[in-house]
A and B are shown apart, each in its own frame.
Chain A
Amino acid sequence: MNLLPLLLIVALLVAIRFATVRWLPLNRLAWLAIWWVAIYAGLATGIDPPLPSSIIVLFMAIVSLALVAYLSADSDELTSAIKAVNTFIVEPRFRIGLIIVAVAVPALTAFKVYSDLSSPPQPPSSGRTIHPPPPASINVSGQTVNLATATNPYRELEHSDQAAFAEHVANGRRIYFENCFYCHGDNMQGAGMFAHGYDPIPANFNDPTTIAMLQESYLFWRIAKGAPGLPSESTPWSSAMPAWEEFLTDEEMWDVIIFLYEFTGYEPRAQGMPH
């Protein structure tokens, strides 16, 4: 968060409030306009890293709708606001203000068009789908793995034979640091030494919205088949993940999955739920 601009916006709002109570009473329309500008300024400058413009547009659309609803939910206030606009347009004492508005609106529009066109060309924005849907089954090492029912064959050792389970964790650790950490990083935040070369950067496994939400069979599919095994829907996936089935055994892939969950402290999503 950028606290300084946020504090500044709040201070300005308080100052305007104080000023309007004492010297310059404002009607509801003017207040809502001030709120609109304040919220926009807060979203545009108060959050670090900056929000993408698409999300600011979405939020401001919702805010605008809410403010219009607030204004028109009270018939007296709405009438008063319309009267104020009429007065501003019609009465000679507001002529200078009207001229300023009449010039400022097209000028701001022109400035926006100019700044957009004069900035260097950008590839179009894209909405990335983060979880590719897995197929019903995959073929690994000549065997069909049903992803809806497949479970980690070594997971049960966690309770039945902890020593054996620890060996699988250790094996997973070795495999991870031999193969995965170059991209996914030594603390699994997707910030490995090669990560800066990718767009988007590799997944952050510490994020509670990645592996914590997935079943182990899903991870097995992603590791085994990598980018070449991604589905044709929702492309482009923009993934550089190798198909690790060509380099690792099934056991090694299951072991590294165990290590991912052990390291991050998350539990894999369980399979099967009430029907």
Chain B
Amino acid sequence: MYCVAVRWTRHYDEIVSEDDMSMTRPRRATAWRAFTVGLLVVVAMALFGEPAMASPQEADPEYRTLPFVSSRVVMWIIAELHLMFAAFVLAVPMFAVIIEYIGYKTGDKRFDQLAYDFTKLLSVSFSFTATLGALLTFALIVLYPALTKYLVKIFSWTFLPYVLLFFFEAVFLYAYYYGWGKFSPRVHLFLGIMLNLVGTAIMFIANAWLTFMNTPSGIDEMGNLTSLWDAINNYIWMPINIHRLIANMAFGGAIGAAYGAYKFLGAKTLKEKAHYDWMGYIGIFIAICALLPLPFAGYWLGVEIYAYDQSLGITLMGGTFSWLFIVQAVLIGNLFLAANYYLWLSMGRIAGAERYRHLIKYLLAVITLCFIVWATPHSLVATVEEARAMGGSHHPILNVLGVMSAKNTAVNLLILTTYVSFLLYRRANKEATVSWAKTGNLVQFGIFAVVVIFVVFLGVLGYFVDAQTRIGLSQPQVYSVLFAMVSVTVIDIFLFRGANTRGSIEWGKIPARAQYALFFLAITFAWLMGLMGYVRAGMRQHWHVYGVIRDTSVDAFTPTLGFAGMIVSITVIIFFLFIAVVFYLTGLAGKKNYEAPEKSGRRRFRRAKKANTQVPAGSAAPDAS
């Protein structure tokens, strides 16, 4: 164990020292916290950890094990928690800066306050992210030394920029947070933009490490590095970068909305309710805006995985992990349903929205149908008798719904339907006054109709063409949906320029169940992240680095779906316990300062005075101060 401690120290020096030597006070506190936690882990490992697969002569075991719990589960939970917090910390500054900019341009102070409310969540979350990151590093070094050594060998040149960027992120983040109202708006916005750029760069570097493990490139047959850039720019690096950027926005928006819901439910005044209702709405607006293009990014990622190696692709979507994609479909279907539900409830606070209420049932019918198509498995769970009746595990009718042609069509229509809900919400209290209003509406309807027909046509066509063409058909589907959303929005902006208003939006006038829908959305996003994080890592199966470093530990088996689901769920529960702490600590900022309780004698004196009775004997008189 001595060797472990020495090597850990060396690694810590390499990885963390730069960061530690030159950081601001808050970041230093974070690092010390992380250091302490890490130290505790190392001590615990030293006391309880056992080298696995190591003969007495071997100084460097490939693995170390823990008592009671497998190393893989420990790494799994820590990594996922770190990822969730990192996603949140990277996402919030993105939309905080945009909201702040809107406030700056419009001069509306409410936007500035809203951006600040979101940013307040960052301080504690950043500390948690750093602590979990340190814990992840230590656990990796101690539990998987051989793998860590290999990754360090490949990516050693990326660590220095990573640490430097991390340092800059701490500086920009705390300058952005503590400097609110202290700098000129332009300087403050610049700090926010820099925070985003640095945060994104950090994520891109870390993504290179993890994507290399899935689709290694830039190495020779012996696993030696031949090109660092190729190792970084591997098959799924850029798809993961884009996918995570968008997913982080969706996740961060949903958690921010949950915070708004939490504050709304505890609000004492109408003004507070109105503010936090608005905060919840803006949070979920951001989440849904990011959710809409997310399936496209996911599809691109899937295509690249398949392109790298069909084994990985088949394991992912058609083999061992395919059932998890059904779970994913159910969760995403729920996300779309809950997002639309929140929008429909939100229309209750807008005078004039009742005109569109009758359309909800049609939107819901489309959503339900698409949800069903998306969640239909290719091979069905069936008893022997049921399977015999079907002639196998494929149902002759439902079979066609189990493949990507149907699912791509369903998801595109789901996106369009959600957009329509947004559009109805947007125009709920508006009455167009332009002379071409009728034509404009007709054109908008025409665009929707043509795009829906086109998307369905391509979906059906997918069954009659070869696989390569079918994969290509997803692109025109995506572009046509994007075209519909952009063109209809542009028309809508001009259509309602100078529009009459039927009434104002009464913020705060929304049922409590809408706030629970926001909680539901945040939890579902977190669950989804946990699930797909597992799928991305798990598809390597018995490889640490696919095709290069084989997993020879006692955990080198694919866990059952039930076990995986349980670990993901436990991780989500732990994450929300942490988030509850973040919400509580953030909420302290608005509380009154602590006042020392008065002495009992003085209290009794005051009470007696209030009651206009004689001061009890022996009571101390209040002093003049």
List chain A positions with a Cβ less than 8 A from chain B: 1, 47, 49-55, 58-59, 62-63, 65-66, 69-70, 72-75, 122-136, 147-148, 190, 199-201, 204, 207-209, 212-215, 217-218, 233-234, 266-275
Contact = CB atoms under 8 A, between A and B. Distances in A.
B375 interface: yes
Given A1-B397, A63-B368, A213 B337 contact: no
11 contacts: A49-B389, A49-B390, A52-B395, A53-B386, A55-B376, A55-B395, A73-B345, A133-B318, A148-B310, A208-B463, A214-B467
Nearest to A122: B383
Contacts of A270: 466-468
Contacts of B334: 65
Interface in B396-418: 396-399, 402-403
Given A207-B399, A233-B320, A267 B468 contact: yes
B536 to A, nearest CB: 15
Contacts of A134: 310-311, 314
A212 B310 contact: no
Nearest to A39: B368
Given A1-B397, A65-B337, A275 B304 contact: yes
A47 B511 CA distance: 40
Interface of B: 235, 303-304, 306-312, 314-315, 318-320, 322-323, 330, 333-334, 337, 340-341, 344-345, 348, 357, 360-361, 364, 367-368, 371-372, 375-399, 402-403, 463-464, 466-468, 471, 511, 513, 541, 547, 558
Given A58-B330, A73-B344, 5 more contacts: A50-B386, A52-B386, A125-B381, A200-B393, A213-B403
B348 A75 contact: yes
A126 B310 contact: no
A207 B395 CA distance: 11
A66 B340 CA distance: 11
B304 to A, nearest CB: 7
A51 B314 contact: no
What is the predominant secondary structure among interface residues of chain B facing chain A? Answer: helix
A131 B360 contact: no
Contact of B467 (A74, A122, A267): A267
B311 A208 contact: no
Contacts of A204: 392, 394
Specify which of B337, B367, B384 lies most central, judged by the most chain A CB atoms within 10 Å of its CB: B384
Specify which of A66, A72, A125 lies most central, judged by the most chain B CB atoms within 10 Å of its CB: A66
A138 to B, nearest CB: 11
B319 A233 contact: yes
Contact of B304 (A129, A148, A234, A273): A273
Given A130-B378, A267-B466, A66 B367 contact: yes
B394 to A, nearest CB: 7
A129 B314 CA distance: 10
A208 B396 CA distance: 12
B357 A131 contact: no
Contacts of A136: 309, 311, 547
Specify which of B310, B383, B547 lies most central, judged by the most chain A CB atoms within 10 Å of its CB: B310
Contacts of A273: 303-304, 306-307, 471
B261 to A, nearest CB: 16
Specify which of B340, B403, B466, B471 lies most central, judged by the most chain A CB atoms within 10 Å of its CB: B466
A228 to B, nearest CB: 18
A200 B403 contact: no
A35 B348 CA distance: 25
Contact of A129 (B379, B403, B468): B379
B311 A148 contact: yes
A209 B304 contact: no
Contacts of B547: 136
A20 to B, nearest CB: 16
A1 B403 CA distance: 21
Contacts of B368: 62-63, 66
B550 to A, nearest CB: 11
A275 B234 CA distance: 8
B467 A213 contact: yes
A54 B395 CA distance: 13
A199 B389 CA distance: 11
Contacts of B303: 273-274
A52 B320 contact: no
A82 to B, nearest CB: 12
Q: Which 9 A-B pairs have the closest CB atoms?
A: A267-B466, A131-B318, A273-B307, A269-B467, A133-B315, A52-B382, A54-B381, A133-B319, A73-B344
A80 B384 CA distance: 46
B394 A233 contact: no
A73 B323 contact: no
A123 B383 contact: yes
Nearest to A129: B319
B311 A133 contact: yes
Given A131-B319, A133-B315, A51 B388 contact: no
A273 B303 CA distance: 8
B240 to A, nearest CB: 13
A133 B307 CA distance: 14
A83 B479 CA distance: 47
Contact of B310 (A69, A74, A147, A233): A147
Contacts of A269: 310, 466-468
B376 A49 contact: no
A73 B367 CA distance: 14
B619 to A, nearest CB: 56
Contacts of A49: 389-391, 395-396
